[in-house]
Amino acid sequence: MNAPNAQRSMVEAVKVRKRFGRTEVLKGISLEVRPSEVMCLLGPSGSGKSTFLRCINHLERIDGGELWVDGELVGYREHGDKIYELRESEIARKRAEIGMVFQRFNLFPHLTAIENIALAPVRVRQTARDQAKDHARTLLAQVGLADRGDAYPAQLSGGQQQRVAIARALAMKPKLMLFDEPTSALDPELVGDVLAVMRKLAADGMTMIVVTHEIGFAREVADSLVFMDDGVVVESGAPAEVLDAPRHERTKAFLSKVL
């Protein structure tokens, strides 16, 4: 078994299925994300977007199909004609190569911004603490928070906390970034700063998959847009195609409510 486009894909999903009990949440998702591509996933709540993101870094195990990241099966390895699930330590090592930013910031409240960012490189990659903190300061500057390194999460706004969370994900030097509605928990006036950081990441060539309801961001930044509903890909293509000339009635109905 070989990744269908291993030489040119960062993510390759082939008929991916996932169920929780009797409910099938993903019903055969197939899509491809190239290196340095930004893909935005749109769709109503419950359509399977967040579950699909969690499958990419093996926070959820798929029940069918194949899922590849950078030419390797997610959560499994091949040996001859057989496939074996990786040990938890191997899964954790692979997961460290994929950054994920959630709706909620999940910062440790008892650690400063710099300490939150430096924690994983020290513990997972055995980076020297001083080196990890220096890198954390550089990342804070990149997300516009150079002067907030010693602040605790409770002393930061929601938008600032989310930017620290992005810096924390970048601290592991990931090959791929996953964003699960990163602005949905923010007050409207705080959204712009977070999106600005994401725009710069995209401009710098980071491969990104973004679950979002920010249609303007998707139109401006995404290379491809996927509309999901009820566990399937309903429509995909260039943002202008999907947003301005949707082909499927379900897509038209959804966009009529959000545009």
DSSP per position, 107-138: --TTS-HHHHHHHHHHHHS---HHHHHHHHHH
Q: How many helices (H) and strands (E) does the chain have?
A: 9, 12
CA distance readout (Å), 103 to 18, 46, 234: 21, 15, 24
The pairing of beta strand 82-85 with beta strand 176-180:
unpaired
pTM of the model: 0.93
Least Cα distance to 238 among 228, 249, 226, 252 occurs for 226
Query: What distance in Å separates the CA atoms of residue 259 and residue 143, rounded to the nearest whole number?
Result: 29
213 token code pair: 């309801």
Residue type, 11: V
Query: What does each of the 259 residues of the chain score in pLDDT, given as a tens digit?
Result: 555 554 579 999 999 999 999 999 999 999 999 999 999 999 999 999 999 999 999 899 999 999 999 988 887 777 777 777 788 878 788 888 999 999 888 899 999 999 999 999 999 889 999 999 999 999 999 999 999 999 999 999 999 999 999 999 999 999 999 999 999 989 888 899 999 999 999 999 999 999 999 999 999 999 999 999 999 999 999 999 999 999 999 999 999 988 7
144 token code pair: 């516009």
Q: Which helix (H) or strand (E) holds 38?
A: strand 38-42
The pairing of beta strand 207-211 with beta strand 176-180:
parallel
SS3 228: strand
Classify 66 in phi/psi space as left (phi over 0), alpha (psi -120 to 50) or beta.
beta
